Every structure is written in C-alpha cells, then in structure tokens.
Amino acid sequence: MSSEKSQLKFQSRDGIGLPHGAELLQDPILNKGTAFTEAERDALGLRGLLPPRVLSEELQITRILESVHKKNSPLEKYIYMAGLQDRNATLFYRLLIDNLDELMPIVYTPTVGQACQEYGHILRRPRGLFISLKDKGNIASILRNWPQEDVRVIVVTDGERILGLGDLGAYGMGIPVGKLSLYTACAGVHPTACLPITIDVGTENETLLKDPLYFGLLQHRERGEVYDKLLEEFVEAVKEVFPRALLQFEDFANANAFGLLAKYRDEICTFDDDIQGTASVTLSGLYSALQITGGKLIDQKILFLGAGEAGIGIADLVVSAMMTEGLSQEEARQRCWFMDSKGLVVKGRNNLVEHKLPYAHDHTFIAELLTAVETLRPTAIIGVSGQPKTFTQPVIEAMARLNDRPIVFALSNPTSKSECSAEEAYRWTEGRAIFASGSPFDPVTLNGRTYVPGQANNSYIFPGVGLGIIIAESSRVTDEMFFAAAKALANEVADTDLKQGRVYPPLSRIRDVSASIAYAVAEVAYRDGLAKSARPSDLLEHIKSQMYQPIYESYV
C-alpha cells in the first residue's frame, strides 16, 4: 500500500491527514499499538517502531488485564489504567466497558479519592486544562490551547470539596478526568468531545501547602469578589470558545455550588452533579425501593444526615416528585427532615444558611441522630454527611423496629466515608434493610441468603443526561430532565434485581440504561422547546447509533 496521505481513509483534526510514524503512536485517540496491520505499518511509517507481530484488540486486552491483575493495590491499578488511557484510548475504553464491575471502582470511586490525595506524587502525564488566578483576563485564550474544537462536555471543579475528602486544591483534577471517562464508557460520548478542567484559586489544605510536590498555587483560597469574577470570566470564555458545550460543575463547596447553579442555570447549558445528579440517582433508588415495600412516595418520611449540596438537592427533587403525586410544596417539604453537624434543622435555630431554611420545620430541637429517628419515625434515612460510621447499630436497629423494610441509603464517598457498610445494614436488620451506598460493597450472605447492595452511583445518571443533552443540542438543563432520568433509571430495574435487594440495574447494562435516560432527557428538551436539533423519527435508535464504540478502525 502506498504511504501517500491522499490514500488514507482517515484525516487528522487539521484535515491534512493522519500523522505518521512516532507521532501517530503518541496520539492516544489514533494509536492502535501492536494492532496496526501490515498495510497500515507500511502506509504510516510504522515499520520498525513496533514489534513485528500484529496482535488483535482481543489479545491486547488479554495482556492488559493480566498486567492489571498483577498490580498489588487499587492505586497501582489506577496508575496503570491512566497510563493506558494516555497511550491508547480505544483499548482503555474497550477494557473499561467490558469490565465495568471490576474497573469502575479503579478509575473512579473509591480509588479516585486516594488518587486525588496523592495526585502530585503519581502524576505521569497531565490531563485536561488547569486555570488559575494567574490566568485572569486570559481564560479564553487558554481554552483555545485545547486541541479539540468541538467540545461537548466540560466537567470543572475548584477542588474544594472532593468527594468526602475535603479541600484537595489542584489535586482535584482526578475527579473531572474520572467523570469524563465515565461519560465515554457509560454513555458513549466520544473522548475527543470531553474536556476536564480544574480552576485553581488556592487551597486551605495545609498538608498540600507544605508538600514540595504539590503542583497547585501555594496560597490560601481566594474568595469573594476575586473568586466570583474569575468564575464569571471562565463561564463567559466557555460560551465564546465552546458554545455547544454542556458545563458540569463538580465538587464545589456548598457556599459556591448553590450560588453558581442559581446564577448560571438559566443562562447557559449547565448543571451541578452533586446537587442534581445525586438527587436523580437517589430518587430513582427510592422509586425502586418502593417497588419492594409496596408503598407510595408521598407516604414516606425521609430523614437526611447531612444538609449540604447532595442532601438539599435530593430533597428538592423528592419534593418535586411528591408534588406530581398531589402534595403541595409545603406538604412535601414536611416529609423531608435534616440533621446537620449541630443537630435537627428546625425553625428555632439561629443562623441557618439559606439553602436549609425551606426544611427548617417547627419542631423541638434534637441533637442526636438516634433520638431523631425514634422521635420522627422515618421510613428512610439517607446519609450524605461524609462522616463514617454515623449510622450506628442502635440507629439501624431503631429503623428496623419502626419499619418492616427500612430504607437505608449510606451515600457518602469514598467507601471509607460511608455512614455504614452493607454488611452492617443487613446484619442489624436481619436482612430486612433496603440498602444502597455511594461506593461499591460486595454482596452479603446472611442466614443462607445473598443480598446484593445497590450502588447509588451518579454514573447511572450524568452520562445519560449528558448524552441526551448533546443529542437534542439542548440550550438548558432543567430539573424536569433529572426527574425524567430518575424514572427512566427506575424502569430499568428488573424483578430479578429487586428480589436480590438491588435497587439499581447491574453496571453491565449501563450503556443500555444510559441510552434510555438520554432518550427521556432528549424528549424533555424537544417537548419544552429547548432543543436546537430536529427530533429524529426513531430517537432511541438514533441515540444508540451516535454512541462511541471503542473499536479499531482501518486507516488504509
């Protein structure tokens, strides 16, 4: 085969032609490694740069999995997978998609938490864009440094509230990188359409500030007007440089997360995953749990431990769902109660922050969670506190006395922050708990029966939501879309799942689930006049046809 570029089927992003030789092997999107065929090696100047034998993608996967299994710790596996992603994206995503149960906990929670804590010590090759206070006035030009022009999804963090681990500053980049890997693996958003960004305004983490390998700004966090203006410049730059992009805010602290969402949700296509994505996946889990208990959503009383972004976001969506079933907003809010670090959120307390006020009910103050459970008699407790082991044995046993099938959702991430384990929830309720967690727990066998805990992982929601928005080219992201996503996810839970206690479908079905969610979200966009694209006659099939498949293409 001639090596002339004109004979190649594929063109590079500049439209001139594929890079040749060593340059091609350095491009993770185009590189196939030892899978390049004899003809491609001749045409693309690869002779001698690769071992002589051509290996299929299947054989490459066998080799990679063997290497993964030889690693002694989850963090070592994370580092190895990151290296694979840097050199061969197709192989990375093929491996991840085919082994989601095993590898999602490696590339995302819980391992990504440790990876973020040690990011400067394990960094091999930077990914994404880092924007700092030093870049004020030049953010648009920095965005233009990104090699891809048609970015469709941006995940951005300022690193202040990484999972349940707190302020990790610039080390928080592991979260946008991980989230966008799941956009591709779970929903087929093409990797070149994804852009992870970290905005570095400093950190309050003294350990990082004293770490000689910390690569972020060595200063305490900038707040107030300087922070607000930097974020405003960033949003305006995104609108200018990537006008078709969905902007996902991720792991911002409460003080900024609610304000940013309120300011920009009606101005650009944006959402906050910690507020809205967590709400959607939790509401879906509640719907599934009610298929087990036989109850109705409007008859539930929910007690939240933790009154931050996740908790308030869940309650707001639950209230909206209850209102569709006939309750007034006030009646629905009366079914949602909150415990924060000081105790029960009630009207008599002073200095409550604004986002807690709608759920400050007229009730005697209660300081302890166990007393709150025994007094309020909730049907469900939802932990979003970031405080481990707070669902103690007395608390869980009280829930079991009050409810035949108590709903116990311990959602704090990573696993080390979970309010209780799956084994504890099942053992302390004699197997009657309907349990879900934020990070994965293994199945539990108790009295001869095996229970499969549900994982209320936002990856069930945000990839499908993003895909639906991309397909419809929606100008906005609405709460109705997350409500539709929750219902679509609950509809994917089979009777066989419910019989095992599982309130979410298995991860092995995530791409089909994401397609269904994308369909539901796109339909909302088309119905509400938010879509810029024309609705295809067969929307679901169109969505599936647009999902990225990590399969090697022929270049000659």
Active site residues: 108, 179
CA dihedral for 82, 22, 128, 508, sign (positive or negative): negative
Distance CA 85, CA 70 (A): 18
Distance CA 215, CA 164 (A): 22
Tokens found for residue 125? 């090759």
Q: Which residues pair with 450 in a beta bridge?
A: 445
Give CA torsion, residues 219, 225, 229, 235, to 10 deg. 90
| HEC profile of 29-56 | CCCCHHHCCHHHHHHCCCCCCCCCCCCC
Helix (H) or strand (E) holding 155: strand 153-157
Q: For tokens 């990790």, name the residue.
A: 168
Q: Supply the DSSP string of 277-320, one letter for each residue.
A: IHHHHHHHHHHHHHHHH---GGG--EEEE--SHHHHHHHHHHHH
Distance CA 485, CA 380 (A): 21
Contact 292, 405 (CB under 8 A): yes
Distance CA 399, CA 382 (A): 12
DSSP 8-class letter at 409: E
Helix (H) or strand (E) holding 161: none
End-to-end CA separation in angstroms for the chain: 8
Nearest by Cα to 409 from 374, 383, 442, 439: 383
| 482 exposure class (CB count in 10 Å sphere: 0-12, 13-18, 19+) | buried
Distance CA 175, CA 119 (A): 11
Tokens found for residue 332? 């629905």
Classify strands 444-446 and 449-451 as parallel, antiparallel or unpaired: antiparallel
b/e string for 145-177 if b means 16 or more Cβ within 10 A?
Answer: eeeeeebbbbbbbbbbbbbbbebbbbbbbbbbb
